[in-house]
Each structure stands twice: as structure tokens, then as C-alpha cells.
Structure 1
Amino acid sequence: MDIDLKEQPGHCSHVEAILDRLPCYFDIKKYMETGIYTENSTFNQKKSIRRMTLNFFLSGEILYRKTLYLGLLKCIDVVETAKLLEQIHAGICGTNMNGLTLARIIL
């Protein structure tokens, strides 16, 4: 295995958004809103969705993920994620937490 060393660090300031895809939390949100599973869901997928809904909270149209130490985290789509990451990399957003905690929240 070869490892290439670079002279200067690389920086990424652009995130490409795929607008055709549904957000990763789409199935959970739909189930919480209507109580109906998505089409072609298997028994195991339905069971997983029911379990995952215990960790989420729906307030109107906004879905939040419950966490033990950080409270409620807003679930965002690809476009909002791209904007947020660009702001974080640019240093626009100030933070009151260390880098590891911030990384956990973003991911």
C-alpha cells in the first residue's frame, strides 16, 4: 500500500448536492406523520423504522433527533447540509463546543 504525502494541506469549500434523492430521514418522517410505511418495505425495514422513531421527535414539519447530552438536533436535507458545511468551513458560525462534539452533531 502506497501513501502519498502532500506538501500543502487540501481544503474543500464546495459540497455538491444531489437534488433527486430523498433525505435519509424520509422514511422515519413519513411514518411519524402518517403511520404508513413506504412502498416495498420489508418486514425488517418496517421493524427498524418503528425502532428508530423512538429516537426522533416531530414538531410540525420539522423532524428532530433526540440525544442524551445535546438535546434535540434538527434533521436537515442535502441543500441545508451543504450551506451549513460551507458556513462552518468559512468560520461564520461560532461554536461553544470542542471539535469532536461539533463533528458528531454535523454527521
Structure 2
Amino acid sequence: MVCEEQKIIPYVRHVQKLCERFRMIEFRHTPRIQNELPDALATIFSMIKHTDTDYIDFLDIELKEHPVHCSHVEAEPDGLPWYFDIKKYLESGTYPNDSMSNQKKSIRRMTLNFFLSGEVLYRRTPDLGLL
């Protein structure tokens, strides 16, 4: 494999090492227009600057056979609604008993997007409207 593009030389080296593990391997060029995922990854990579030119960040990508959509959750694992911790923090300033510091920080950050009026929890929109 010959590569003239300096940015992808570390990737070419890595692929060459991986090729040694296979008895036979075949490469086919697919135009970007026909392969959206690598095009998106290339765009993301072009925005990242690394001081070490031999640095390669590995990505684990899991492709599903069929798209999965979830528009309704039947029940939460703990039996409480998804917003319970947010509402409790807004009401009393308390966290769940088993909360770690990163979970507490996450709850505090999420509460910035909500407003409690009596028993009703509203979500703030970017224009400060309430949902």
C-alpha cells in the first residue's frame, strides 16, 4: 500500500500490521458518496489536531441490522419516573442516597433545564419557554 497523504500514514501502518494476521485480504475503493459513515468519520477526524503524528484513537462501531426506535418507556428499572431525581433535587436539594459525585453533578446540570411550579415539572426551552 502506498500513501501520499501524511495524515493517514499512521493508519496505513496499522492496517499493514493487521493484514499480516490474514491469509488473504482484498481492498476495494468505495466513493465517499456511497459510504456515509467513513465520510462522517473523516470529517470528524479532520477537526481533531494531535501533536503526536503516530497517535491513533481506536473507535468501536457497532452496526445494527435494523434501526431501533423507542418512543415510549413502559417502566423504569427502579419503578420511578425518569425525572424523579431532578424533581426531588428541585424540591428539596437532596440527591438519591447511593449517588456518586459524578451523578450528583449530572443531576445539578440537568436541573438547569427544568422549572418546578408546585407539583408540575416543566422543561425550559432555549427561548426560556416552558414545556
Structure with the bigger percentage of strand: 1
* TM-score using structure 1 length: 0.49
* TM-score using structure 2 length: 0.41
Higher relative contact order (CA 8 A, sep 6+): 1
User: Could you say which structure has the larger radius of gyration?
Assistant: 2
